[in-house]
Structure 1
Amino acid sequence: MKTIGLKTALAMTVGALTGQALAAGYALNEQSISGMGTSYAGRSSAADDASTLFGNPAGMARLKREEASFGIAALHAKTDISDTSSPSYVSGSNDGDMVPFTAVPMGYYVKPLDEKWAIGVGVYVPFGMITDYESGFEGRYFGNYSEVRVITLQPTVSYRFNEQLSIGFGPTINRIDGQLESASLSRFTPGSNDGQVKVKGNDTALGFNLGVLYEFTPHTRAGLTYHSKVEYRLKGDTRLSGPAFDQLASAGIPAPGKYKASLDLDSPESLDFSITHELNDQWTLYAGATWTRWSRFEALVIENKGIPAQLQPTLAPIVEEQHWHDTWAYALGAAYKLSPQWTLRSGLAFDQSPTNNVDRSPRVPSGDRTAVSLGLAWNPSDDVTLDFAYSYLWEEDIKVNRSRNNASQTYSAKYENSAHGFGAGLTYRF
């Protein structure tokens, strides 16, 4: 029954922590298609369109016209799993491609009120993932399906003090939803007659984004953006079903059923700094660095309520150690203006993984990663810009070594992760 409790503890958030998003941990970078083309090197200083509402709200004061930006980024990930090992009574496959083709939407609207004030609103996805292993996955007892998403609404205001200094602020309203499914080992027939654990949880919580933009010259500017932590208390249900739990019921333990569960989770704060320099009429250069406080994620602690008395000793608060560490991400990018209508972009980024070799699991098969990006902007008129972007990401090879119940359950494997990102966006100026 300790296995049941562990699955419950993991259900609310560990499923979010996959290495397949195009950012460290379970964060997503896909909030701007124009930024995607430079690997987000100038995220807090570029202020090219309304998506600056997320990248740096202070940049809204630079926009001269009312405008709306909409976009979608699609992610296609691939994982190769090899060198696997598990107990002899466990059989299964390791196809590896556990992340289905996924789309991430975004939308922004900014309206300058005068030469100093601008207001806007944005909807975007700062965190999210989905993993879906095959049903016979060898590591299924450590998780076979996970889906977590955060959708954020951000009303924002920006003020320009003078030609050099602007600030921006926006409270964030964040909705998190999560679901996890995993297999549970049968006590009586290990390796077959698995049980199924399915957990759903959600919450809505507040945070904020704060940005400063300073223009040293008309051609050089620097931006600093702070994205606050968000404190969630997810509430939901844990459902236990399948042959393994039916066997427990036959033995007098009423395990099958639906139970209330809750979990406290803080998404990390981050600080993004970047510089944009317009070298001449054709070339623009970008450089940026992002610090994320993943060290807040030390452990998962789950609370279960309403469970039968026979299960309380094993489903009391359970701690799953994680011990993540803070990370840095770095990026360089450039844009080349072919003509008034066409602009090419490119970027290179390096992103540290917050996981460690001891606590890494099949749900977090993540290593340090490198990404290269290409972008293209087309301006058929002064009112319209179409942005397209492509990114390719690859990670260092990593090992997963998991065990529980005094090593009676184990799974180890080598993971090789990569991902393709595709983006398209439209900006319209009124």
Structure 2
Amino acid sequence: MNKKRLFTKTMIAAAITLTSQQALSAGFQLNAQSATGLGRAFAGDAVIADNASAMARNAAAMSLFDAPAISLGLNAIDSDIDVKNAKYAGQDLNDQQIGDISYVPNIYYIHPINDQWAVGAGVYSNFGTKTEFDSNYVANEYGGLTDVKSINFALSASYRINQQWSVGAGLDIVYGEGKLQRTTPLIPNGSNSQTKLLDVDANGVGVGWNVGTVFELDDRNRFGFSYRYSPELETDGDMYYIKSKDGNPDISGDKLKMPLPDMAEFSGFHKLNDLFAVHYSVQWIGWSAFDKLATTGGDTLNTYEWQDGWHYALGGTYYLNNDWTLRAGYMYDTSAQDQKTSISVPDSDRQWFSGGFTYHLDAKSNIDFGLTYLMGEDVKVTESTGLAPITATTRANALLYGIQYSRSF
């Protein structure tokens, strides 16, 4: 396998990695399950259950509903990603701003069957973003276009064992798609020009499952735990890349095998009085399982040195009156990347600063709004999987905002 073929397949794999479900948190995750959760940095979301979007974090939380409920929402992810101080093949490159806006819709429905059983269905995305370098960027073998999104189709059920314990389980069907374009500089006869190295439109489907439980100590205090199994996803698609100096395209029939990390979350909710509640979450993401990318043909395309990720979130809710509920939260999100880094998908430890509110239209319906500022850190990046190495400093910040309508029947 020549270097260009290996490089191209590795970049395809990186693009498809981004299209997976929430298991790919930490390095790539921008939570977008609900506007309600966004307003509290998702602190306590595995157990609060204030609208139907709760099923996305813990299927057992559906046992807390005594009437059918529906939620419809739209979140926006406005990323601000800088690549600066880059050096490539001995050249100093211009700084790049490669962020973009992604819109992430969601819908959930929970239906209690009786006092013990409830079922639910949801359609939402756990990831959606886009980064695009200038078309004349010299190091576009690493930059170029990365445009990815995912859709999660969820079916869940919960069972109330007694007044304190409930359990739940769900099936996740995840569809992901990604577009990736890369070019590489050529210098024929001493003049600078670029040629297309890679043009990919790929997709894949995986099936996973999740389980959860809720423990209600009393009417004001409860705890939740959920575990999500992530499948090994096989992906393929239309791929164009330069095989040799004759410029002829090559199309590979191999599929990529993607080992996705599992995830576990523990949440607590405590209503201290009629006006105020505190809530929190600790989430683990098993990123160390993502050790290599391999094909169905037996080739190892790339190896990784990633580490498990953690989220620590703390939030508060203030029940102002019958019309207004206010909330705020903070999350610390640890990076999945360790020694190996990237300019097209920057990653670092992150801080979330969140706020939001609910306006109750009437006793059965409300509108939620959530806003989060996600602040990353400067990271020194070195990549050398392409034709020439690149070094740079990256920083990824984002503004997330969402609106949601919820109703019970």
Q: What is the TM-score normalised by the length of structure 2?
A: 0.92
Answer yes or no: is the 8 Å Cα contact 1:330–1:351 preserved in 2: yes
Answer yes or no: is the 8 Å Cα contact 2:16–2:176 preserved in 1: no
Aligned to 2:216: 215
Residues 9-408 of structure 1 mapped to structure 2, 5 A cutoff: 9-14=10-15, 16-17=17-18, 24-88=26-90, 93-96=94-97, 98-186=98-186, 188=188, 192-240=193-241, 248-249=245-246, 255-302=248-295, 317-356=299-338, 358-404=339-385
3-state SS of 2:167 partner? strand
3-state SS of 1:11 partner? helix
CA distance in 1, matches of 2:7, 2:18: 16
Structure 1 residues 25 and 8: alpha-carbon distance in aligned structure 2, compared to 1, 3 A threshold: same
Gaps (5+ residues) in structure 1? Answer: 305-315
| Cα displacement (A) at 1:124 | 1.1
| Cα displacement (A) at 1:16 | 4.7
| Cα displacement (A) at 1:301 | 2.6
Aligned to 2:408: 429
Answer yes or no: is the 8 Å Cα contact 1:109–1:121 preserved in 2: yes
After TM superposition, the structure 1 stretch with the greater mean CA deviation from structure 2, 124-133 or 99-108, is 124-133
CA distance in 2, matches of 1:372, 1:65: 33
Answer yes or no: is the 8 Å Cα contact 1:49–1:69 preserved in 2: yes
CA distance in 2, matches of 1:230, 1:121: 20
3-state SS of 2:60 partner? helix
Answer yes or no: is the 8 Å Cα contact 2:267–2:280 preserved in 1: yes
CA distance in 2, matches of 1:248, 1:285: 62
The one-character-per-residue Cα deviations of 1:328-359 (angstroms, maximum 9, x if unpaired) are: 11000000011011000000000000101x31
* Runs of 4+ with >3 A deviation: 14-18, 90-93, 185-191
Q: What is the TM-score normalised by the length of structure 1?
A: 0.88
Structure 1 residues 189 and 150: alpha-carbon distance in aligned structure 2, compared to 1, 3 A threshold: farther
| Cα displacement (A) at 1:171 | 0.9
Answer yes or no: is the 8 Å Cα contact 2:326–2:357 preserved in 1: yes
| Cα displacement (A) at 1:116 | 1.3
CA distance in 2, matches of 1:12, 1:123: 25
Structure 1 residues 404 and 381: alpha-carbon distance in aligned structure 2, compared to 1, 3 A threshold: closer
CA distance in 1, matches of 2:373, 2:225: 26
3-state SS of 1:12 partner? helix
Percentage of matched positions with identical amino acids: 29
2:395 to 393, 416, 423: 416
| Cα displacement (A) at 1:101 | 0.9
3-state SS of 1:31 partner? coil
| Cα displacement (A) at 1:12 | 3.1
AA in 2 matched with 1:149 = K
Answer yes or no: is the 8 Å Cα contact 2:16–2:177 preserved in 1: no
Gaps (5+ residues) in structure 2? Answer: none
Answer yes or no: is the 8 Å Cα contact 2:174–2:207 preserved in 1: yes
| Cα displacement (A) at 1:139 | 2.9
| Cα displacement (A) at 1:206 | 1.0
3-state SS of 1:143 partner? coil
Structure 1 residues 209 and 372: alpha-carbon distance in aligned structure 2, compared to 1, 3 A threshold: same
